[in-house]
């Protein structure tokens, strides 16, 4: 998928570029124009227009076929992403009776990779298109014990707790800025036995681990996974366990 981010709709001017790209690169399945008129550090806007090909692309991640739209977060290094999610599953080590909350779940790739080992996966994501992808991905892979909700984690689980849903394990994969204060507060209040934090920014991961340590959790394990060779970036996985004391 090629996603061209523009200030305004310039689809006519992009026709020649689309022809050149599709003639030269046979692997391209989709060309999307994303319109973002805001002058902020947020890269993608809310409006997407398909210029050529399909609205989404598909990949296989941890044995599951996943559909990806332009606004769904997805790791581009599939081989290393599978190692990253495998390490997260190892740290979570869910029992068959346990509920896993998957926060900032995107297209559901992490939660769906853990679904066979758990009783239930409850994913929360604030981007509507990503939630729709996650729901379709669960159906496509015949995963019946996963549900996905659009909204803020604290608000969604506030409603779910009233319905009797309490996560035993929380898996969180926030953006580079880390977890919001509301999400940290929710995780501490939910008091799962484990929190598995995946992060693309070790600095904010350390900050969030410190905040959770002040709320009764200890950082037991940490592992770095290099998804971006020859750059200064590294992903990390942190296992936080609730202090038995």
Distance CA 233, CA 243 (A): 31
Q: 118-121: which pairs have CB atoms within 8 A and are 24 or more residues apart?
A: 118/94, 118/145, 118/169, 119/145, 120/145, 120/146, 120/147, 121/145, 121/146, 121/147
Give the integer Cα–Cα distance in Å for 100 and 69.
24
| Strand-pair partners of 150 | 125
Give the angle 78-143-239 at the CA atoms, nearest 5°.
55
The set of catalytic residues is 200
């Amino acid at each position: 998928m090629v996603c061209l981010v523009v200030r305004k709709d310039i689809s006519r001017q992009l026709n020649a570029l689309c022809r050149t790209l599709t003639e030269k690169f046979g692997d391209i399945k989709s060309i999307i124009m994303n319109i973002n008129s805001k002058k902020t550090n947020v890269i993608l806007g809310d409006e997407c227009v398909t210029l050529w090909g399909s609205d989404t692309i598909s990949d296989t991640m941890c044995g599951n076929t996943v559909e990806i739209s332009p606004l769904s977060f997805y790791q581009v290094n599939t081989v290393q992403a599978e190692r990253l999610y495998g390490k997260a599953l190892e740290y979570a080590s869910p029992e068959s009776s346990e509920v896993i909350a998957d926060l900032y779940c995107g297209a559901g790739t992490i939660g769906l990779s853990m679904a066979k080992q758990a009783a239930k996966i409850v994913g929360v994501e604030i981007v509507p298109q990503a939630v729709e992808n996650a729901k379709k991905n669960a159906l496509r892979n015949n995963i019946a014990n996963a549900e996905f909700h659009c909204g803020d984690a604290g608000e969604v689980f506030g409603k779910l707790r009233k319905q009797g849903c309490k996560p035993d394990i929380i898996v969180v994969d926030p953006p580079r800025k880390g977890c919001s204060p509301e999400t940290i507060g929710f995780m501490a209040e939910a008091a799962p036995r484990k929190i598995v934090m995946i992060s693309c920014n070790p600095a904010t991961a350390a900050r969030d681990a410190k905040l959770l340590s002040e709320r009764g959790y200890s950082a037991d394990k940490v592992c770095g996974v290099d998804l971006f060779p020859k750059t200064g970036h590294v992903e990390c996985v942190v296992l936080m366990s609730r202090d038995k004391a």
